[in-house]
Structure 1
């Protein structure tokens, strides 16, 4: 595919990705949250709050924006996604299973001995591009992929999701400099800006603000969005690069534990496993949200 197609006004209409409408995307995000809660509960381990938080971002990407094909996971022209925030893998696994990259039944093996569904992205799983988990590596990998696309004249885009606590890693900023230097406008970085990390507030652990100005000073086009608003995410992502020659950084302001009222903005839910009663209550809340979406 010639890279010039990426800049065509009709580019998104030519891509083969099957897009869901906004209401269906909202419904899908709720269903993925239900799946990941059940998966964590069954496994008795997982990063629950982090995965609930990033579900809307991944839903927008995989069901409305990215050009991927479960029947051809190694298709050369596929868009690439790197989960630099690798500990929040539960939502990614649930989405890949839902899209048919592997049988949904396999989710029941999550974190069990011998399972390929380990607690961080594993490239033995179809649809996972790279093993990640050690924070600070994902953006560097994505820069290499985006640079390769430029060199090959390929039209695919590269997306990476970082945590805000991850911004304390020096390798993030080395990669940020490289992306701007090589004018990688086919690269989109997300920061899941929920302002919490395992040991508390990001601003108490290692102050980040003004985070948007820092990324702008490194040569990125920075866009602030509500990272739990699927309609807003889709609108921004379909704009393509707003500034030719600049990588895009989407500051996705999110709520940790989103979708479960008693988990939202609670640091304890970073890797909390729901109890029997908590799971029952969480699933009831999400079932009610499905009902409300159906009446919108």
Structure 2
């Protein structure tokens, strides 16, 4: 990856974060979680996946499944930056007039499968990856998971099956922001040591800084990581990345800010000041 590509990725990620912040009002969205996943989603679509606006329905395309479905603002924001989705549609967020909602909807071009029921999409992704193996297709299949989602037993069943069928065309990306809903993961059900756990289940594992595009590029420059094994990329991230006033806060998973607070957060994103928020919105779902 050259400097021009790096600058482009950073610009797109900033724009996506703006979209997320603007969607965090008039009903709100999963702001903190979406901001942690932004760099991962942007990198995967811009640098790793073989898919364009013209090939959204092409059988030869690569696939991305957002199992961590509440991060859909990051996904929709990326689609806007890719030219797949008109930016005006984001204004319909939560409106009954549109399909833009809190979780991915297949009525939106680019969405491969509904998600929101955590632990479900790893199995869907491995099914697609297995089909690609059987038919000899070169497609890459990516599934993004939340770290709290790893408490679902179905995730580990999917890891076992993926390795049993040697699905080295499948990549699980774990958005490791160390929070599950409104609690730190290690206080609820400790997950570490994650590298050892995935390795023990037979996967080839790498761990990186999930906000470092160069580290992402280095990690995924050789794919698969190891022939005949499921690929697992653990990406260490920060909830609310880009907004110091809400970073790494348990109560900033789901946010419904006022319009004035959105303006202050956009200014904070651009380094103008740190926002002071009057509301202490906490919605636990």
| TM-score of the alignment, normalized to the shorter chain, above 0.5 | yes
Of residues 190, 197, 209, the one that matches 2:192 is: 209
Partners of 1:46 and 1:271 within 8 A in 2: yes
Match of 1:195 in 2: 178
Aligned equivalent of 2:75 = 92
Aligned to 2:138: 155
Aligned 1:281-292 pairs, distance under 5 A: 281-288=264-271
Residue in structure 1 matched with residue 35 of structure 2 by the alignment: 52
Residue-by-residue CA offset, 1:115-149 (whole Å, 9 max, x unaligned): 11121011111100000000001111110011111
1:179 aligns with 2:186: no
Residues in 1 aligned to 2:217 and 2:11: alpha-carbon distance in whole angstroms: 15
In the alignment, which residue of structure 2 is the partner of 1:254?
A: 237
- Provide the TM-score with structure 1 as the length reference: 0.88
* Deviations 1:181-231, CA, capped at 9 Å, x for gaps: 000110110111111111301112111111211110111011010011112
For 2:50 and 2:81, the matched residues in 1 are separated by 16
- Distance across 2 between alignment mates of 1:236 and 1:274: 36
Aligned residue number for residue 3 of structure 1:
none
> SS where residue 268 of structure 1 aligns?
coil
Aligned residue number for residue 4 of structure 1? none
Q: How many residues align?
A: 271
The aligned residue for residue 24 of structure 2 is: 40
Shift of 1:274: 2.6
247-256 vs 233-242, which deviates more?
A: 233-242
Structure 2 Cα separation of the partners of residues 277 and 214 of structure 1: 45
Tell whether the 8 Å contact from 2:104 to 2:114 is kept in structure 1 after alignment.
Answer: yes
For normalisation by structure 2, the TM-score amounts to 0.91
Name the CA distance, whole Å, in 2 between partners of 1:276 and 1:100: 26
Q: Distance in 1 between matches of 2:269 and 2:83?
A: 23
Q: C-alpha offsets along residues 122-180 of structure 1, whole Å, 9 cap, x if unaligned?
A: 11111000000000011111100111110111111000110010011010011010000
Q: Which residue is 1:264 aligned to?
A: 247
Flag structure 2 segments of 5+ consecutive residues without an equivalent.
273-285
> Residues of 1 paired with 2:24 and 2:183: CA distance?
22
* Structure 1 segments of 4+ aligned residues over 4 angstroms from their partners: none
CA contact (8 A) 1:202 1:208 kept: yes
